[in-house]
Structures are given as C-alpha cells and as structure tokens.
Structure 1
Amino acid sequence: MTTTPPPRTVFTAEDYRARMARAVDAATRAGLAGVLVAPGPDLAHLTGYTPPADTERLTLLVLTPEREPVLVVPALEAGEIAHATGAAALTLRDWKDGADPYALAAPLLSASGRYAVSDSTWALHLLGLQRARPGTSYAALTDALPMLRAVKDARELELMAAAGAAADATYEEILTVRFAGRKEREVARDLAALLRHFGHSQVDFTIVGSGPNGADPHHEAGDRVIAHGDMVVMDFGGLKDGYGSDTTRTVHVGEPTPAEQHVHDVVREAQRAGVEAVRPGVACQEVDRAAREIIEEAGYGDLFIHRTGHGIGVTTHEPPYMVEGEELPLVPGMCFSVEPGIYLPGRFGVRIEDIVAVTEDGGRRLNTSGRAMALVE
C-alpha cells in the first residue's frame, strides 16, 4: 500500500478572508456583536490554522465588524501561524507566558456585546473573557450561526466528492477480503488501512458489527469472530485533504435468510426515499420523515432508533441534522448523511449510508458504491 499523502493546500488567503467576512455578516444579521473562535474545526475552516485544541494557553480569533480579523495567540506558537494559508488575512496579537491573555483580548470586545463562541472553546477561556469583560454575553456558535460551515463552495464540494470516492474504493476493496473466521477488529484494521491507502490522512471510525453486534449502531469492533451466516454492518470514514467521508454498508457472510433480505430491502428503500426527499427549501426534518415512513410502514418503526442524518465537512459530524423538529431549510451546497437503519436486538442490524450534497434542483449522492446486499466469504 502507498503512503498517505499530506493534505493538499487548495484554498487561498482570499478564500479565508471571504469566509471570515461572511461570518461577520452572518453575526450582524443575527444581532450579534461578533464571533469568537478557539482552536477546532471552526478555526481551521475560517483561517486554515490548526493549532492544538488541548492547550490551556488562549488562542482566539476575534471577528467583529469594527476591525480586521485579529488572532490572539501565545507568543511561543506565533511562528507556526506563518504556515497557515489564511495568515495573510489576520492581524496577530501575541502574548507571553505570565501575561494575562484575557486582558489582551478584552479591548477587542464591545463592553456589552453578545458574541457567538465556537463550540470547542474551553470553559476556562470563556470564563476568563467574562471576568475581563463582565458586560459581555455569549451564545454557542452552532445555535447562533448554524449555517456557518453548512454550505460548501465549489472547491469544497470537489473535496467532499473525492473523500466519498475514496470511501467507495475502500468498500469495494474490503469485499475481497475474508470475513468468516476473523475478528471484527481485524476487519476494522483492514478498513482503516484501506482508507489511508486511498488518500485519507485521518481515520475517525471503523465500525464493524457482526451478527447481534450489528444491532448496536455505534458498536466498537471487538474480538467477536465473524461466522458464516452473519450480517455485518460496516460504518467507516475520516478526513481526506481536510474534508470528511462517512459511509455504511451492510453485507452478509454467505446467503441471507429471507427475513434478513427483507429487512435489508426495507432499509435500502428507506434510504432511497430519504435521498429523493432532498431539494432546496425542504426542511431537514422532511428527509428524516421520508426515510422513517418507509420503515414504519414495514412495521419496524420502533427499531429505527437514531436520526436519519448529520452534516459533514471539515469534521465527520456537524450541523445540519436530519431529525424531527429541525426546520432549517436545505440550501444548495449543504452536505449530510442519509443513513436509516433497523436494529433487531440479539439478532442483527442493517444500516445503509451515503453522503448527499444539495444541488439547485435536488440532491447528489457523493457515494456511488452498490447498496444491494453484498455477499462475502
């Protein structure tokens, strides 16, 4: 197998400058004074900078309509920012150990402003800002600006499609390995190796649930030995060139029983219905309803125990969510999973998942591998 290539740099400083400007515009329309972004996926999306998220030192992007974007950063990490493509669009305010970074950040904030704060911000840092600017208030970025990363541009969609194609290639290749007599974790290792072989720099999950373990949607691949006659749920994905893949297929070791084939057929039809419900202006919940209706009509409604989908982009799980009660309308450029499932405790489970991108007149699958039940050895 080939070595995984490093993520490509495909965005320019102007791309990042435009993203930050759109974030400020969105905050203004929402009645907010600005956006505060700590290390995590939002910072990577807005600036191309990916410092460690697990640090007690404050790194904070401050986006407000009054000034150009400012990045408050530890002095010892300031040199790393030069490697980020979006660095040219930022003004740096660095601070040294022993100084108070919140006192440095406070003048950048309105004394009584309300700010959207990235979900990954440590409570330590948020409390520090509140002490330094006691009149400020804050809202979670996901709640206040749910569309910030939801709509992908043309270049992002290309990367999403490439990640999906790599996941499809992984699936096609895994069908050639032996399942019977091997442990779930061994097949999971094969999936991870194949994802990397086909260009993923990061593997986020490789779920392999065989037989009764398939009835647990988030089963961790373990030491159960896969046997002839097992249904096997495989859910796998990660990041390729900074954008996510996530796909699920359910295969069978040997010939399925009529009951197993029937359940698989129901899930396949539900997944088709969910995808066909995708079009601009439709509420997210309608995708969930379309898939769920098929499963309920078949008598398995109580066995479909999770939402139909989640957004995906620079992380493998992010807004929007295809779930009852989510009335956010679909917009061209949104990408999310459609993944209905049926889970029969103690017996087996079935899930089928594709990533779908909203187009001007419908939806486009970013996964094209076969959804019929594949038979493996």
Structure 2
Amino acid sequence: MNQERLNNVLESMKAEGISQFLVADPMAVYYLTGAMLNCGERMMVLYLCTEKEPQLLIGKLFPQNEEALGIHVTYFEDTDDYVGILAGMMKEEGTVGVDKVWPARFLLPLMGKLPGAKYVNASYIIDLIRQIKTPEEQELMRAASACNDKSMGELIPLVVKGLTEKEVSEELLKIYLKNGAQGHSFEPIIGYGDAAADPHHETDDSKGKYGDAVVLDVGCLKDGYCADMTRTVFIGKASDKAREIYEIVKEANLRGIAAAKPGARFCDVDRAARDYIIEKGYGEYFTHRTGHNIGMEVHEYGDVSFTNENILKPGMCFSVEPGIYVPGVAGVRIEDLVLITEDGCEVLNHYSKDLIEVPVEE
C-alpha cells in the first residue's frame, strides 16, 4: 500500500464527509496498492474507512501476498454471500462512497443490507489526486514520451513501404518493445488518405498512395505510464490545400500549448486552439475536444474542452491535439503532451512538427 497516496485519499474523504469508500476500479486499486487486480465478473473491493484500517475483499481464486500489499485481505468462495461479508465489515450508517465501475449487481444488494447509509459517487476523490502527478510520476511521463518520440522517428519511414495500416501498427509494437516500452498504451490510429479525415478511424487493411496524408496517433506504455502523440505526414508531396490545413493545425497546437499555464482553465486551452481554427474558416471541421488528461491510463479524469472550467494546476498532464478533417481533401491532427509547471508548461514531446513529406521509393 502506498501510504502517502492512501493518506491523501483518507484526508479527502474526511473533507468531503465520506466515512467509507468502496474502491473497485482496477487502476485506482493499482494506484493505491501497486497490485493490478482484474477479477472479471467476480467482486473485488478495496474497502477504505476513515476510522478503520483498509481491507481488500477478493475471491479465493486470486490469492494475494498480504505482507507485500501491506493490508489485510479477506477472501470469499464463489458460493459465499460476498456482499454480506462486505456489509459485515462496514458501518451501518454514514456516507458511503462508491466508485464509477462497481456494478449495480453488487451495489443494489449492499444498499438493501445497509439501508441506513447514504451512497454517493466518490470516484472523483482518487481521480483528482491522480490528476496531480508527483515528481516521480512526472519523470515516468517524460521517459514514456521520450520513448514515443524515438519510436515515431522509426515509424514514419514505414508509411511508404507498401504496408497496410494494420501492418504499420504491428511494426510499431516491435519498435516499442525494442525501445524499452511494454507495448501500446492504446490501439494505434493509423490512417491513410480518406481515413486521415476520420478522427477516430479504426486501423484496417488499407494501403497508402502518393499524396495521402497519414495520421499517426500512437502511444506506448512504459513502466506503468502512458505516452500519446500524433503526427501527420504525407506520402510524397502534399497538395497545396493539405499544406494550408497542416499549417493551421500546427499553429492551433502551438496556441493551445501557449495557453497551458497554472491558473488558466482547461477551456482556455481549448479556446486558444479552436478559435484560431474558426478564424481560418475551418471551425466546422474541428469536431472533437482539444485534449484529455493522461497518466497511468491514456484517458484519465479531465478533458481539454470548452465546457471544462476547472483550473490548471502544477503537476497536471494532458494532451493538446487540435485537428482539421475535410473529407476528400485531407485530415490533419498534431498532438503533444504537456505538463503544467509552476510558471507555464513543459512540452513532453520533442519530435518535429514541421510538415514532413516522406519520399516515395522508386
């Protein structure tokens, strides 16, 4: 158990008037304990209480090293009344926090067994703590992004090798493993030509052709932390219209980054990028938010959107990824991760954002 993180959660629980907290999100449990517990359809709960020591309730199929975990573990058989066992650990009254992934098939019976308690969504308690990366986490984010930068340099030449999008993705995995990552942090988006104009295209068996824009939205998982970056390159020569779009997106990316500083709001970053694209006449073709928070998961709590008025604080890490997607013309997205510092932000990606035209081999 990471005692510092646990103490932060318990202090937040006290401040929010939540005396008990049922943590079932595997990533939240991992964040607190260092143990990745995926129990499928079976119940697994880390029980936190401001007045008691934490306990892990888990099926006997998943034996744990209590000494290594640093917490007491209670086991149940599949045939046990495991919700009843949990209820027996808990206080009958007060406010119970429940996280966002705990299934109703467990929550509803618990509410029936402890009707005197008040139940609230408390996921935000851990989510908000995870938003602020510690110095150690910041170093891990830098290392993951450095691996992603290096791998991007090895990936780009492959777009003119006659490979399908799926084959490029498979080659990228090999590159990541060679460069010290443990794999993809998400399924890569590799999009040639028309697919580049689909912001969440699913990588398929298409091949690129001369003049295509190629969106490379990729990220590696390294030492438990995620990288995420997008570059758009061109096979051979880019059209004049594609060049225009590219330069607009690049400037929007830079403006979003410039707006990322402590005391600003997430919506300020979105607006800085979005307003420039609107000014240039492409607002209708920028169809998504400007970014998302990132860390142990590629999409964490928080987003860079025009509706998010939360304040940026040192230690927050998120993407800035404006795009313009014009069907039949070109799709361009440029994405960097930024880390909010005491006086601005640190851009974690250093791979060139200059327009790249990859020469076609004769």
For the criterion TM > 0.5, the same-fold answer is yes
Aligned to 2:242: 260
| Cα contact 1:206–1:236 (8 A) shared by 2 | yes
Instruction: Name the Cα RMSD after superposition.
Output: 1.8
Q: d(CA) in 2 for partners of 1:326 and 1:360?
A: 21
Q: d(CA) in 2 for partners of 1:373 and 1:82?
A: 54
1:29 aligns with 2:15: yes
Q: d(CA) in 2 for partners of 1:185 and 1:76?
A: 36
- TM-superposition CA deviations, 1:186-242 (whole Å, max 9, x none): 212222222222222231211111111111111111122200110000101142111
| Cα contact 2:66–2:73 (8 A) shared by 1 | no
Aligned to 1:243: 225
The structure 2 residue matched to 1:110, chosen from 91, 94, 97, is 91
| Cα contact 2:133–2:317 (8 A) shared by 1 | yes
Report the CA distance shift for 1:82/1:370 in structure 2 as closer, same or farther (over 3 A).
Answer: farther
| Cα contact 1:279–1:362 (8 A) shared by 2 | yes
- The alpha-carbon deviation at position 365 of structure 1 amounts to 1.0
Aligned to 1:50: 36
The structure 1 residue matched to 2:262, chosen from 260, 268, 280, is 280
Q: d(CA) in 2 for partners of 1:194 and 1:138?
A: 47
The structure 2 residue matched to 1:340, chosen from 322, 341, 346, is 322
Aligned to 2:55: 70
1:133 aligns with 2:78: no
The equivalences for 1:143-158 within 5 A come to 143=124, 146-158=127-139
- The alpha-carbon deviation at position 174 of structure 1 amounts to 1.0
| SS of the residue 1:285 aligns to | helix
| SS of the residue 1:72 aligns to | strand
1:161 aligns with 2:146: no
The structure 2 residue matched to 1:271, chosen from 245, 253, 275, is 253
- TM-superposition CA deviations, 1:234-285 (whole Å, max 9, x none): 1011421111111100000112122111111111111111111111121111
The structure 2 residue matched to 1:59, chosen from 28, 35, 44, is 44
Q: Name the TM-score, length of structure 2 as normaliser.
A: 0.93
Amino acid at match of 2:316: M
Q: d(CA) in 1 for partners of 2:54 and 2:125?
A: 19
| SS of the residue 1:229 aligns to | coil
Report the CA distance shift for 1:140/1:175 in structure 2 as closer, same or farther (over 3 A).
Answer: same
- TM-superposition CA deviations, 1:328-354 (whole Å, max 9, x none): 111111111111111112332110111
- TM-superposition CA deviations, 1:80-125 (whole Å, max 9, x none): 3458x5x11x122222332211122113333233333222222222
Over the matched positions of the two proteins, sequence identity in percent amounts to 36
- TM-superposition CA deviations, 1:303-359 (whole Å, max 9, x none): 111111111111110112111121211111111111111111233211011111111
Report the CA distance shift for 1:294/1:31 in structure 2 as closer, same or farther (over 3 A).
Answer: same
| Cα contact 1:250–1:350 (8 A) shared by 2 | yes
Aligned to 2:181: 200
Unpaired runs of at least 5, structure 2: none
| SS of the residue 1:226 aligns to | coil
1:94 aligns with 2:75: yes
| SS of the residue 1:364 aligns to | strand
| SS of the residue 2:228 aligns to | strand
- The alpha-carbon deviation at position 161 of structure 1 amounts to 0.7
| SS of the residue 1:130 aligns to | helix
Unpaired runs of at least 5, structure 1: 1-12
| Cα contact 1:205–1:235 (8 A) shared by 2 | no
Q: d(CA) in 1 for partners of 2:271 and 2:127?
A: 21
Aligned to 1:20: 6
